[in-house]
Structure 1
Amino acid sequence: MKAPLVEVKDVRKSFLVRKGWFGGDKYLRAVDGISFDIGKGETFSLVGESGCDKSTTGRLVTRLLAPNEGEVWFGGQNISRLSDHQMRPLRKEIQMVFQDPYASLNPRMKVKEIVAEPLLIHSKLSSHERDKLAAELLEEVGLNSYHAERYAHEFSGGQRQRIGIARALSVRPSLIVADEPVSALDVSIQSQVLNLLQDLQERYGLTYLFISHDLSVVEHISDRIGVMYLGTLVETAGKDELYERPLHPYTQALLSSVPVPDPKLKKERIILKGDIPSPVDPPSGCRFHTRCPACMDICKQLKPEFLEVEPGHQVACHLFDENVRRMG
């Protein structure tokens, strides 16, 4: 693996949802002890069902949220406890592309102002120089320079997402956190935006944290993939390894649900029963045991360790823990 640009070490993030008497406060445990790293120039994807707090993880990496416990390292520096003032120089290195291209662009600003807005803080360019750079960036993402004088409502969803990408590129970041960047787009437009992201990565040596619930999208763009369930990581592996040999029962169920293009081809699907438990009151032991078809008694009592079963392939499941197998 390439040298890590991002290291997430046993990070936890909780939110107070109800204040109680005599210390009976209720907390939503959004992210509960996850660890992963992202190499320079790599695309690491987080996948999982809605509500597993993939987006919260992305906001922890960008330091839009501060972790309660654990550490987030960027470029060899621990950014977990930096103040807003200390983070400010690093903001240009870490940019974000948001899920909703309609809500993430200011409707009162012209496109050239939207794209050049980060340069007001992170550069000393003149107004003319910012406008020129904005026009160049629009060309880079597949739009025309004359689009700079228009407003966001004059564009389609795919074009708006290209504007959001141009804005993220304006300060030449090292890391881009792409939070469901194509989920609001038509399928035909999704592939265009994904190809654009890959072209820009190759051109500028960008590193991506790509967040998605769509496994077909993730397969197209990822180098490595982490599978999240209820605020925890259950499996990480290289893209090819994960798709060819998923180990965790949850990963197997997710992959079995991916549609097959050929209607004549029959595919065995794993149907998970029940709903995702509440992160306010998560189950004991393995968080997946309430829906797992391979659940054992120990799964209900003991949280599985995140073990490397093969080089570069980690899984948190008692089925692959030799100590548990010996006990059984």
Structure 2
Amino acid sequence: MSKSTIETPLVEVRGLRKSFAVKKGWFGAAKYLRAVDGLSFAIRQGETFSLVGESGCGKSTTGRLVNRLLKPTSGEVWFNGQNISSFSDNQMRPIRKEMQMVFQDPYASLNPRMKVKELVAEPLLIHTKLSVKERDKLAQELLETVGLSSIHAERYAHEFSGGQRQRIGIARALSVRPSLIVADEPVSALDVSIQSQVLNLMQDLQEEYGLTYLFISHDLSVVEHISDRIGVMYLGTLVETADKDTLYDRPLHPYTQALLSSVPVPDPNQKRERIILKGDLPSPVDPPSGCRFHNRCSACMDICRQQEPVFREVEPGHQVACHLYNEA
């Protein structure tokens, strides 16, 4: 059951598209990689909405579009009732403090020349008028909030383990009390034992601060632990969305079923039938006609090769883009 108590979405994405020019075609015509191609979803206040899918499906690009690190080619991103899709840098500045990001690599995202207290307090320097003493005090408090000690404030990032660095990144994201945190593969670089600690920390902080998460991951075990709702991406589009329990109990799209069949079962006496996908992920520069998954789908029909399926609700809160579920 979702933790959300407010029906109006904090984030709403409508027909979002992002293309990158990658090379020249015949006669000098540019070719475009369609990283995100027509996404629509909403994230309610206080919930965790996760995006999952294979590498290259557009998850990370979507996260950067939502917090406007990238400008969309077309479509709209609404945040807290405002269409921020075409906002200038000056218009985005007061909104930046409301949407922060936790990156995949906890070392690459931290400046090695800055002390930890400076790293955590840097957003405060930009978005507040606090004095140096006030910023340092708040940085120490935030470090303690994420399970570190205030004595760590004088150290540098290279003196910490991967899990500790990610805690520093989370403390930095929390410094300006954001409404939304976009977490892009925040635990994929960590050991399994450390992953659970960081995930539990994120859940505790969500309850304490009323945070909303857009959580991006390829690891379905991690996503099951932290999510309220899940969106499954394939080649720049959403193929299925549902609440966590529904998606894991009754996956509808053949791609979702294949992904879930690959999740390890903790019981050695229990076996799960593995669905092996044939073929490689098509190029987003030249995606297949019709359903983008048809050339890897065991349930492919003639209509799948010709017509792109409509993303539609098949039961309350459960949406899928698949011709197997067309209305009669």
* TM-score interval for Structure 1 and Structure 2 normalised by the shorter chain: over 0.9
| Structure 1 residues not aligned, in runs of 5+ | none
Aligned to 1:298, what secondary structure does the other structure show? Answer: helix
Paired position in structure 1 for 2:247: 242
Q: Of the candidates 22, 41, 50, which is equivalent to residue 36 of structure 1?
A: 41
Aligned to 1:5: 10
Note the C-alpha offset of 1:265: 1.3
2:68 alignment counterpart:
63
In structure 1, the partner of 2:140 is 135
CA deviation profile, 1:44-79 (whole Å, cap 9, x unmatched): 000001110100000000000111111000000000
Displacement of 1:20 = 4.3
Corresponding letter in the other structure for 2:256: T
Counterpart in the other structure of 1:317: 322
Q: Which runs of 5+ in 2 are unaligned?
A: none
RMSD over aligned Cα, in angstroms?
0.9
Question: What is the SS of the residue equivalent to 1:290?
Answer: helix
In structure 2, C-alpha distance between the alignment counterparts of 1:49 and 1:18, rounded to whole Å: 23
Give the distance between the partners of 1:16 and 1:152, measured in 2 at CA. 36
Please state whether the residue corresponding to 1:30 is helix, strand or coil.
Answer: strand
With normalisation by structure 2, the TM-score equals 0.97
Give yes or no for the alignment of 1:168 onto 2:173.
yes
1:298 aligns with 2:303: yes
2:222 is aligned to 217
Q: Tell me the equivalent position of 1:76.
A: 81
Q: Which residue of 2 aligns with 1:112?
A: 117
The alpha-carbon deviation at position 24 of structure 1 amounts to: 2.1
Say which of 279, 285, 296 aligns to 1:274. 279
Shift of 1:23: 6.5
Equivalent AA in structure 2 for residue 218 of structure 1: V
Q: Tell me the CA shift for residue 130 of structure 1.
A: 0.4
Letter in 2 for 1:273: K
The aligned length equals 323
* Structure 2 letter corresponding to 1:211: I
Cα distance between partner residues in 1 of 2:106 and 2:183 = 12
Q: Distance in 1 between matches of 2:322 and 2:24?
A: 34
Q: What stretches of structure 1 move > 6 A for 4+ residues in a row?
A: none
Aligned-residue offset at 1:163: 0.0
Q: Which residue of 2 aligns with 1:285?
A: 290
Is 1:50 paired with 2:50? no
User: 1:261 & 1:244 partners in 2: Cα distance?
Assistant: 17
Q: Which residue of 2 aligns with 1:92?
A: 97
1:204 aligns with 2:247: no
Asked if 1:103 is matched to 2:103, the reply is no
Q: Equivalents in 2 of 1:316, 1:295: separation in Å? A: 13
Q: 1:256 aligns with which of 261, 271, 274?
A: 261
Q: TM-score, normalised by structure 1?
A: 0.97
